[in-house]
Amino acid sequence: MSFKLRYVLYNSHSILVEWPAKIDSKILQDILNFKKSIENLYSKQKVEVITAYNSLLIIYKFTIDDVNSAFSDLKELYKNKNNGQDSKALVWNIPVCYDNEFGEDLEAFSKEKKLSNSEVIALHSEAIYTVYFIGFLPGFLYLGGLNSKLFLDRKSSPKLDVKKGSVAIGGAQTGIYPQNSPGGWHIIGNSPIQIFNASENPPCKIKAGDKVKFEPISKDVYFDIRSEVEAGSYKLKSLEDDA
């Protein structure tokens, strides 16, 4: 499948390629296929390709002297790209404790949605989410696939000290805060695992195109896992997904 793309000179070293402005799994796969084709073409020059929901940014190690020629090369590459599934996605099982101690907004969120806490937890944890891209913080996963019953606009006033590991909902998305930071999403739980670790290679094992399944855990299990994480003995579980 191919889409009508828009090519924009972002700066003297970068080109932005844009897809239709919607969250769609077919667009995601098309972006990832094109990314791989670009990286293969420029393997010796080692360009950097950064993806988002509906775009990718190509950062060259050299100045783009002839932008029209660069656009033509990319358009030809896109026309001939590999349209098949590049590789099997991984499904990552991420433990989450939804206890009120961690889900500080769970009560208010449930009332707003006219659901019980247990219904919110069940709806949130039964879905299999797709990782569309990673950003605003290193390791922050933007996940698509949230049940529409849980859609809720972000808070009007962001919280300044969202805790690391907070699992939250904002609009039609859910995600995990990989470090302490400000944030405006509704916090419904916390995961004891470490999503991003700068000392590891790669720092974030989860990548765009992978999938995530949240696993509800008790407070006791939460603290057991956190101890394993701090000791460096915890291994994040994953399995191949043929879907």
pLDDT tens digits for range 44-64? 777 899 999 899 999 999 899
10 Å CB burial of residue 141 (0-12, 13-18, 19+) is buried
195, 118: one domain: yes
220, 137: one domain: yes
Q: Could you tell me the pLDDT band of residue 151, with boundaries at 50, 70 and 90? A: very high
94, 28: one domain: no
DSSP annotation of 18: E
How many structural domains does the chain have?
A: 2
**What does the mean pLDDT of the chain come to?**
90
Q: Is residue 1 part of a domain?
A: no
User: Which of 55, 79, 103 delimits the end of a domain?
Assistant: 79
Give per-residue pLDDT as tens, 127-140.
999 999 887 778 88
158, 106: one domain: yes
What pLDDT score was predicted for residue 86?
A: 52
| Four-residue CA torsion sign, 38, 41, 43, 44 | negative
What pLDDT score was predicted for residue 42?
A: 84
Biggest distance spanned by C-alpha atoms of the chain: 60
25, 129: one domain: no
58, 100: one domain: no
226: phi then psi, degrees, rounded to nearest 5? -60, -35
Q: Could you tell me the pLDDT band of residue 9, with boundaries at 50, 70 and 90? A: very high
Return the minimum-mean-pLDDT range out of 13-17, 187-191, 204-208: 204-208
Compute the distance between CA of residue 135 and CA of residue 117 in angstroms, rounded to an integer: 29
Q: Is residue 192 part of a domain?
A: yes
User: Which of 46, 79, 112 delimits the end of a domain?
Assistant: 79
Compute the distance between CA of residue 116 and CA of residue 94 in angstroms, rounded to an integer: 23
Question: Across-strand partners of 91?
Answer: 211, 239
For residue 242, is pLDDT > 50? Answer: no
pTM across the whole model: 0.83
Q: What is the CATH number of the domain that holds 44?
A: 3.30.1360.40
The domain of 48 spans 6-79
Q: What is the CATH number of the domain that holds 125?
A: 2.40.100.10
Please work out, in degrees rounded to the nearest 5, the angle formed at the alpha carbon of residue 219 by the alpha carbons of 159 and 147: 60
For residue 106, is pLDDT > 90? Answer: yes
For residue 87, is pLDDT > 60? Answer: no
232, 148: one domain: yes
Compute the distance between CA of residue 110 and CA of residue 116 in angstroms, rounded to an integer: 6
User: Which of 37, 59, 79 delimits the end of a domain?
Assistant: 79
30, 97: one domain: no
Q: Is residue 149 part of a domain?
A: yes
Q: Is residue 84 part of a domain?
A: no
48, 105: one domain: no
Compute the distance between CA of residue 99 and CA of residue 85 in angstroms, rounded to an integer: 39
For residue 241, is pLDDT > 50? Answer: no
What pLDDT score was predicted for residue 243?
A: 45
What pLDDT score was predicted for residue 84?
A: 54
45, 116: one domain: no
97, 183: one domain: yes
For residue 12, is pLDDT > 50? Answer: yes
Mean pLDDT for 176-191 is 94
